[in-house]
Structure 1
Amino acid sequence: MTGPRLLSPRWLAAGGAVILAAVLGVAMLLQNTGAACAAPPSTSAKSGKATFYDLGSGMGNCSYPSAPADDLFVALGPVEYSAGAACGTYLDVTGPKGKVRVKVIDSCPECPAGHLDLSRTAFKKIGAEVAGIIPITYKTVTTASAPSPISVRVKEGSSQYWLAVLIDNHVTQLKSVTVNGKTTHRQAYNYWEIDAGAGSGPFKIKITDVYGKSATVSGIKLSPGATQKTTVRLSGSSSSGSAVSSRVSPSTAKKATPKPTKSSASPSAAPVVESTSAAPDEAALATEQPTEEAVDLAGAAASCG
């Protein structure tokens, strides 16, 4: 397991510790007052700042096996990452040189609301790399086109007694995932878990987003570590829609090395990655404060039902 994203000593010396404490306080409010109720994210444009980092050979906190093929992705601070709820969604980010669309695949524990940590590739599309930190505006996109249909990855260590699945290519924020009719709960590292398991499969998985749109995939095998592709899409619309279904083709499910049967206890903590973010100007970061949007988000999370 990789270590946590490291904070820059220069950032902390510039007052980042105080700001971080404030941001984490808001994040705790979100976690303790109903972030899991999955209210639709705001699509209004927000102002902020962007830095960049290199993911390297690791994976982001959203646990996707690899970065997007176009290398356009972003890490969000605790408030906007929302305990994994933002994973798989897209943002349009506009900077001094233009606009870029990025996928949320990671968290940035030291980033206040409004501070996006972009991939180096994404950053260079909208700003000069030498700047290190640039002003931006950004907004959530609900009509992005997924690069491929929904895929399901069964977590390593899963068995008939404990199951965790990762859903990818859904585009919009997810509200719930059920497996063979059983309710799952989302972890901050983006897997949906059933502590008591769902049997030995195959599994029928229903995916519902925060706008009421749903899709059902069936024939998912209990193949830990395998990413299984489907022909179902859940993207391009924020309106309610009927469920659709598809069976996974046997040829698309990778064979996985058999794993020992796991008890009902869940695995170790969520994987995290180190950041190689470019060190931003400490004076600029020292003046960053949680935005009004962050406070509004905390209130919305507390009141959604």
Structure 2
Amino acid sequence: MLSLLPILTLLAVCSIVTAGDVAPNVGKSFPSVQGTFWNGATFAGSCLLQDYYKSGAPNGLEYVAVAKDVNGNAEYCGACIEITPKTTKNTPVVAIVSSHCPDCPAGALDIPKTLFNRLQGNADGRPGTSMFSWKVVTCPFGKFPKIINKDGSSKYSLSMKVVDSSYPVQSVVIISGGKNLAAYKRDYNYWELHNAGVLDDKVKVIVTWTNNQSFSFSNVDPSSKQAAISDLEKNPNGRRAGAHKRKSFQQARGQN
């Protein structure tokens, strides 16, 4: 009887996303894709944004699901996209990506009722499928992202999400015990460590956006249920995390 261990190990590795290779840059575009009316849609989705934004999409944003071929590993989770209808002259709408669509064609969108109506109108006989273009844009959040821990996260098994992020997140590095540990983004939109051992009671976290802007979070408790605030937000006149700005994901991996 063949051992299941190699298979299970492979499946675990396949569910880990290498951050720097997949996070979309602002301006990334899909010029002509299918969009489908998403009947019965809810904000709760595979990106687990509802863990933080309890009452629905933040800042008056709409929400949308993106095809599994581009968001199956949470690559676009939490990113904002501007959607433009190709068959009407209605105004483009910005939405936050809250889920992936497992059955959609490549690059396609699953669109909730309110968003579909804004893009296509709600006239009788309106088709439930149409063509759209979309592109990644900055989210209308503040200047600083925050970090939340997943329920059950601890120094033994860290799991954290970056929220209120104006740009997609390129990398997350955990500094513990004098080591820089590159976190991996999982397909449920949390960043975790692989075989990192027991962490310090308080760690430092470096979050880097795809525009190469970095933020330091000092004294982060891996088990806290409170959102962690960046050092720069605590002290706006302080120095930005410049020393870490150029640290690549590959460099961090090399120190594990």
Instruction: Tell me the TM-score normalized by structure 2.
Output: 0.68
Where do residues 41-52 of structure 1 align in structure 2 (5 Å cutoff)? 41=25, 43-52=28-37
Paired residue for 1:168? 163
Superposition CA RMSD, Å? 3.2
Instruction: Give 3-state SS (helix, strand or coil) of 2:92's partner.
Output: strand
Paired residue for 1:243? 241
Please say if residues 88 and 171 of structure 1, whose CA atoms lie closer than 8 Å, have aligned partners that are also in contact: no
Between 1:81-90 and 1:182-191, the stretch displaced more is: 81-90
1: CA distance between counterparts of 2:227 and 2:37?
28
Q: 1:94 aligns with which of 73, 84, 100?
A: 84
Flag structure 2 segments of 5+ consecutive residues without an equivalent.
1-13, 234-239, 244-256
Identity among equivalent positions (%) equals 25
Instruction: Tell me the TM-score normalized by structure 1.
Output: 0.58
Paired residue for 1:155? 150
Deviation digits for residues 203-247 of structure 1 (CA, Å, limit 9, x no counterpart): 3210112332211122322335544455757xxxxxxxx5279xx
| Distance 1:124-1:228 versus aligned 2 partners, 3 A rule | farther
Between 1:46-55 and 1:157-166, the stretch displaced more is: 46-55
Amino acid at match of 2:207: I
| Distance 1:231-1:105 versus aligned 2 partners, 3 A rule | farther
Flag structure 1 segments of 5+ consecutive residues without an equivalent.
1-29, 234-241, 246-305
How far off its partner does 1:140 sit? 1.5
2: CA distance between counterparts of 1:98 and 1:174?
28
Q: 2:63 aligns with which of 73, 84, 89?
A: 73
User: Is 1:212 matched with 2:212?
Assistant: yes
2: CA distance between counterparts of 1:35 and 1:221?
23
User: Is 1:131 matched with 2:127?
Assistant: yes
Please say if residues 215 and 232 of structure 1, whose CA atoms lie closer than 8 Å, have aligned partners that are also in contact: yes
| Distance 1:217-1:34 versus aligned 2 partners, 3 A rule | closer
| Distance 1:192-1:137 versus aligned 2 partners, 3 A rule | same
Deviation digits for residues 93-149 of structure 1 (CA, Å, limit 9, x no counterpart): 0122221001112111111123211232222211134532222121121x4432573
User: Is 1:85 matched with 2:75?
Assistant: yes
User: Is 1:108 matched with 2:101?
Assistant: yes
User: Is 1:140 matched with 2:131?
Assistant: no
User: Is 1:38 matched with 2:36?
Assistant: no
| Distance 1:77-1:204 versus aligned 2 partners, 3 A rule | same
How far off its partner does 1:43 sit? 2.4
Paired residue for 1:184? 183
2: CA distance between counterparts of 1:151 and 1:52?
32
1: CA distance between counterparts of 2:41 and 2:241?
35
Paired residue for 1:238? none
Amino acid at match of 1:68: A
Of Structure 1 and Structure 2, the greater strand share is in 2
Aligned residues: 207
How far off its partner does 1:40 sit? 4.5
| Distance 1:94-1:232 versus aligned 2 partners, 3 A rule | farther
Please say if residues 93 and 139 of structure 1, whose CA atoms lie closer than 8 Å, have aligned partners that are also in contact: yes
2: CA distance between counterparts of 1:44 and 1:113?
13
